Amino acid sequence: MKKIILLSYFFSTVMFGQNVIEIHYRHVPKEHIAEFEAKEMNHWSKVKQNAIDNGDMLATAFFKVADAGLVQDNTMPTHAFVLIYKDFKQLADSKNIWSSAEEVLGMNPSYISTDEISTTMMIQRYKLIDELSPLKEFKYAVWNYSKPKNMNGFVNENIKLWKPYFEKKAGKNGFAGWGILARVYPQGMNESSILTYDHYTSLDSAMQALSPMDFDSSILSKSKMSEYDPDGFRYRVLLELLQFQGSVN
């Protein structure tokens, strides 16, 4: 598999020139999941690959929430599309990607539309702050949503303490990658402002990492997260990678 994937002055310097990420969350009823995934991976992936080949997008990833099809809550996303752009201009121009869909697909796009069998729940845009590079092959991801009270402290600790810690873990016990993103839009009092992600090669390694009883106490003793983010992660979600296209390294 190919390599994956405004605030204060501090953030403007740390994030200068970093990639922009757009995440589309979809809910798909259980009875339509197989059809939805087949259409997206067999057909709409061609439109995205064309955009990558033409330099309109860097990479894209298609995820399924681990419990998709098991939990019948139509207010929760079951799938997520991650679209990675070089910068804000490339993101702003991304509407042009879909205008050539009929030519790329060789058919009327309405024949393979997934709009009627899915619901777009939300779209979020992020700026990459930092990540382990190059990102390694993975199969599962854990996304951690947070709204720290001390944003600078939270980001500084992630870069200076957690990144080196994760660098040492990479390639061991199924751990494959880590990154931290800052929310650009939408913003609000009830919205998470930070998303960190962890990549794993297997389901058991991802589940092990989610266990609150299986964390390295030596790194916790050096952390000030109880001060920077006293409420902890607002939400954590486990996802399976279905398809990845392109490269950001």
pLDDT tens digits along 107-161: 999 999 999 999 999 999 999 999 999 878 999 999 999 999 999 999 999 999 9
Asked if residue 7 has pLDDT above 70, the reply is no
Q: Distance from CA of residue 219 to its chain's centroid?
A: 25
- In tens, the pLDDT along 169-202 reads 999 999 999 999 999 999 998 899 999 999 999 9
Which of 46, 42, 1, 51 has the alpha carbon at shortest distance from 22?
A: 51
Asked if residue 9 has pLDDT above 50, the reply is no
Q: Half-sphere exposure of 183 toward its Cβ, with a 13 Å CA cutoff?
A: 19
Tokens of 2: 């190919």
CB 172 within 8 A of CB 187: no
CA–CA separation, 235 and 214 (whole Å): 19
Q: Report which residue type is found at 246.
A: G
CATH number of the structural domain 9-243: 3.30.70.100
Which of 40, 39, 57, 125 has the alpha carbon at shortest distance from 97?
A: 57
- In tens, the pLDDT along 67-122 reads 998 988 889 999 999 999 999 999 999 988 999 999 999 999 999 999 999 999 99
* pTM metric for this prediction: 0.90
CA–CA separation, 143 and 200 (whole Å): 12
CA–CA separation, 87 and 47 (whole Å): 20
Beta carbons within 10 angstroms of residue 65's beta carbon? 22
Q: Above pLDDT 70, what percent of the chain?
A: 92
Asked if residue 40 has pLDDT above 50, the reply is yes
